[in-house]
Amino acid sequence: MELSVYNIEGTETGRKVTLSDDIFGIEPNDHAIYLDVKQYLANQRQGTHKSKERGEVAGSTKKIKRQKGTGTARAGMITSPINVGGGRAFGPRPRNYSFKLNKKVKLLARQSALAYKVLDNNVVILEDFSLDAPKTKKMVAISENLKISDKKALFVLPEENKSIYLSSRNLKGVSVVTASELTTYQILNAKMLVILEGSVGKIEDLFKQ
């Protein structure tokens, strides 16, 4: 599978990049994608939610009325969950939402996400470039030249580049990530996947089974 390489001016360079069919051309596995995205979102949860139960709410433990003869239901302490201002029954407690997922399943999920992008023609191979200083206008111009300014785009860099990151930080719908940190969720969350030419080999090395 070959894709043309574009420069930051939005024109073809005349070169082509061959994408590995073992990664970009596999039959996508939807269940693996589901599990990987589920784990990613679960890991984002702090799990610090907490509500006070009847034993933790401030209030007297004295029996609020006699047991019998009132014509109403029996009642104990004022902090009972059925009373206004009482504790909450079966409320949330701090917990860890993360769970284990096998490495091969995660690799399959990322390969499947990349395969979907290729099938939908939502992958652009961009010639390697660098910015001497952060310049948001430059990233806006690149997006417009590639005709992706109206789409959510993810730029995949071969290595960390602070200038490119700072230049895109204020742009709505533009994200930057290095090839080594690419996740299934990020791939699927973006409409267009802009892969720098130097990132192709790194992705193939990282995502091969």
User: Per-residue pLDDT tens for 4-60?
Assistant: 998 988 888 888 889 999 999 999 999 999 999 999 999 999 999 999 999 999 999
Name the residue among 159, 60, 37 with its Cα closest to residue 106: 37
Amino acid at 209: Q
Residue 138 makes CB contacts below 8 A (sequence gap 6+) with 131, 167
At residue 43, the pLDDT reads 94
Name the residue among 198, 192, 180 with its Cα closest to residue 130: 198
Q: With the C-alpha atoms ordered 190, 204, 139, 10, is the resulting torsion angle positive or negative?
A: negative
Domains by residue range for the chain, with CATH = 2-45+98-207 (3.40.1370.10), 51-91 (no CATH)
Residue 193 makes CB contacts below 8 A (sequence gap 6+) with 114, 117, 122, 123, 124, 153, 154, 156, 187
At residue 40, the pLDDT reads 95
Distance, in Å, from the CA atom of 5 to the CA atom of 56, rounded to the nearest integer, reads: 63
> Whats the size of the chain, residue-wise?
209
At residue 54, the pLDDT reads 92
Rg (CA), the chain: 27
User: Per-residue pLDDT tens for 97-132?
Assistant: 999 999 999 999 999 999 999 999 999 999 998 888
At residue 149, the pLDDT reads 87
Do residues 51 and 121 touch, judged by C-beta distance below 8 A? no
Q: Mean pLDDT, to the nearest integer, of 175-203?
A: 93
Distance, in Å, from the CA atom of 153 to the CA atom of 175, rounded to the nearest integer, reads: 6
> Which has more pLDDT, 73 or 132?
73
Using alpha carbons only, what angle is made at residue 202 by residues 201 and 205, rounded to the nearest 5 degrees?
Answer: 85
Decide: residue 171, CB within 10 A, 0-12 exposed, 13-18 middle, 19+ buried.
middle
pLDDT at 209 > cutoff 70: no
pLDDT band at 188, cuts 50/70/90?
very high
